[in-house]
Amino acid sequence: MKPFEIYDALIEGVPADIRVKSYINGRIWSLVETDADSQGIAMNFDAATRPALHGADYDGMPLRDLAALSKSWNFPEASIGMAAINAWYNEKSRAEAQNVIFPDEVNGAQDAFAVYLELARGKNVATVGSFEKAMRIYKGQCRLSVLEKNPSPGDFPDSACEYILPEQDIVFITGSAFVNKTMPRLLELSRCARVVLVGPTVPLARVLFEFGPECLAGFVITDSELCRRLAACGYEISPTSSGKRVRLCKD
Give the start-to-end residue ranges of the domains of the chain. Answer: 5-95, 105-221+243-249
In this prediction, residue 49 carries a pLDDT of 82
CB contact set of 52 (below 8 Å; sequence gap of 6+) = 72, 74, 76, 77
pTM greater than the 0.75 cutoff:
yes
Element (H, E) at 22: strand 20-25
CATH of domain 5-95: 3.30.390.100
Residue among 130, 117, 125, 90 at smallest CA distance from 217: 90
CATH of domain 105-221+243-249: 3.40.50.11590
pLDDT in tens, 66-118: 999 999 999 999 999 999 999 999 999 999 998 898 876 554 556 899 999 99
Q: DSSP letters along 96-162, please? A: HHTT-B-GGGTTTTT-HHHHTHHHHTTSEEEEES--HHHHHHHTTTSEEEEEESSPPTTPEEGGGHH
Rounded to the nearest 5 degrees, what angle is found at the Cα of 129, between the Cα atoms of 125 and 130?
85
Residue 53: φ, ψ to 5°: -80, -25
> pLDDT tens per residue, the chain (251 residues)?
788 999 999 999 999 999 999 999 999 999 999 999 999 999 998 777 888 888 778 999 999 999 999 999 999 999 999 999 999 999 999 999 988 988 765 545 568 999 999 999 999 999 999 998 899 999 999 999 999 999 999 999 999 999 999 999 999 999 999 999 999 999 999 999 999 999 999 999 999 999 999 999 999 999 999 999 999 987 778 898 999 999 999 98
Query: One fold for both 5-95 and 105-221+243-249?
Result: no
In this prediction, residue 109 carries a pLDDT of 56
Q: Are 198 and 175 in contact (CB under 8 A)?
A: yes
